[in-house]
């Protein structure tokens, strides 16, 4: 909506559908709507609106249409070309209390990545919590690790850093592994002594085991860590460090390099989601075939299951399921299947999830219509 001839819009559309294809979802599941075909919009389906702001002396473009979207509680992202201090002058009054995005000073690719990921989050195709785990050798790169923690937090990531993110009363290693498997991406600071630590070796192993994407940030004069399955590599130059101090444990990166890491991390999130979903789905489908249970993968990436005369839907989840996941899954699936179901299940990988969370999920199963299923217990479930 708004200035729909904006020069960035074609790149947003292209990137969005590329990400959709990476996730294995048909383009036909989505419809692009603007003022020319707004009559096709319905609040019965999930929707996400990008509003491109513009200077106006009278009324704003699509103001009436925006009012109906706000009334329907549609997720909206206002985007402007100027400083955010000008925000209220560039968008309709109904959008002035929304959190908008300024393109001023942003590289085009970074802006496109942010907008597209916002859209994917709105459709529950990316987790709205943008969780990142920083894996590093304290004696090599503490300065950059802390700098990254602060910079990523400023860019709305939920960052795990071992020295900052675990409360004193929590079991350290259990909480660390749980936070890793609930992350979208691991940022690995590849330094001289990274693989000399038992803990960093385990972090690399567990990231691969859980199909979590790795952004490898490689120090000058050192090589890429081998064995990373889903990985993007950013090789640093000596000039990327403030005062060229890359051998100093307290050394820090220049801001343009930090922004590159943010961009790499954003770009890898959707690929990680696709990889983790595919792993859950393929494991489930193998069990279903083994026990001769009818299971069909739908175009929405749900598994349609027929077992003991009942039709159910199995939704693969990433990380740790929560009560909100159950509610959102039930709402979306009922809209698609129109109550022609007996049960909805959320499928998750229980590796490294703490017992306290597993007990909580079992408690939710007793109180919510949507049930969770551990992939490790699927064979037992399908066999009965």
Higher-confidence residue: 333 or 275? Answer: 275
> Tokens 């509610």 map to which residue?
327
Q: Is 185 part of a structural domain of the chain?
A: yes
Local confidence band at 329 (pLDDT 50, 70, 90 cut-offs): low
> Containing domain of residue 114, as a range?
9-122
Same domain, residue pair 91 and 72: yes
* Same-domain check for residues 202 and 220: yes
What is the pLDDT confidence band of residue 324, given thresholds at 50, 70 and 90?
very low
Same domain, 262 and 155: yes
If DSSP codes are grouped into helix, strand and coil, which group holds residue 234? Answer: strand
310-316, strands of its sheet edge to edge = 294-297, 303-307, 310-316, 343-348, 371-374
The pTM (predicted TM-score) of the whole model is: 0.63
pLDDT for residue 14 is more than 90 = yes
Q: Are residues 306 and 232 in the same domain?
A: no
Contacts of 279 (CB under 8 A, 6+ apart): 211, 349
Nearest to 100 by CA among 113, 87, 110: 87
Residue 277 lies in a domain: no
pLDDT band at 227, cuts 50/70/90? low
Same domain, 49 and 152: no
Q: What is the mean pLDDT of residues 248-261?
A: 92
> What pLDDT score was predicted for residue 53?
92
SS3 assignment, position 344: strand
The verdict on 167 and 253 lying in the same domain is: yes
């Amino acid at each position: 909506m708004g200035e729909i001839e904006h020069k960035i819009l074609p790149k947003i559309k292209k990137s969005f559908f590329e990400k959709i294809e990476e996730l294995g979802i048909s383009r036909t599941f989505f419809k692009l709507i603007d003022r020319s075909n707004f009559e096709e919009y319905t609040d019965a389906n999930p929707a996400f609106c990008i509003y491109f702001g513009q200077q106006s002396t009278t009324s704003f473009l699509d103001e009436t249409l925006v009012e109906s979207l706000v009334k329907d509680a549609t997720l909206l992202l206002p985007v402007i070309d100027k400083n955010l201090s000008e925000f209220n002058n560039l968008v309709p009054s109904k959008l002035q209390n929304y959190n908008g995005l300024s393109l001023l000073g942003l590289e085009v690719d970074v802006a496109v990545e942010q907008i597209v990921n916002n859209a994917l989050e709105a459709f529950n195709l990316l987790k709205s919590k943008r969780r990142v785990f920083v894996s590093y050798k304290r004696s090599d790169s503490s300065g950059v690790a802390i700098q990254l923690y602060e910079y990523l937090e400023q860019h709305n990531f939920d960052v795990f850093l071992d020295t900052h993110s675990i409360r004193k009363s929590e079991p350290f290693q259990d909480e660390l592994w749980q936070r890793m498997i609930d992350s979208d991406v691991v940022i690995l600071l590849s330094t001289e002594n990274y693989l000399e630590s038992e803990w960093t070796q385990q972090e690399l192993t567990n990231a691969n085991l859980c199909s979590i994407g790795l952004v490898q940030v490689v120090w000058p004069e050192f090589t890429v860590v081998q064995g990373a399955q889903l990985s993007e590599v950013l090789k640093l130059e000596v000039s990327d460090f403030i005062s060229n101090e890359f051998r100093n444990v307290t050394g820090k990166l220049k801001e343009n390099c930090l922004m590159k890491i943010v961009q790499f991390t954003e770009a890898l999130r959707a690929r990680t989601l696709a990889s983790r979903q595919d792993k859950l789905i393929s494991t489930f489908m193998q069990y279903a075939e083994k026990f001769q249970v009818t299971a069909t993968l739908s175009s929405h990436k749900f598994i349609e299951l027929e077992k003991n005369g009942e039709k159910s839907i199995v939704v693969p989840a990433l990380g740790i399921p929560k009560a909100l996941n159950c509610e959102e899954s039930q709402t979306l699936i009922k809209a698609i299947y129109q109550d022609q179901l007996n049960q909805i299940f959320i499928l998750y990988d229980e590796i490294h999830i703490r017992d306290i969370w597993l007990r909580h999920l079992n408690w939710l199963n007793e109180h919510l219509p949507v049930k969770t299923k551990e992939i490790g217990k699927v064979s037992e479930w399908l066999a009965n």
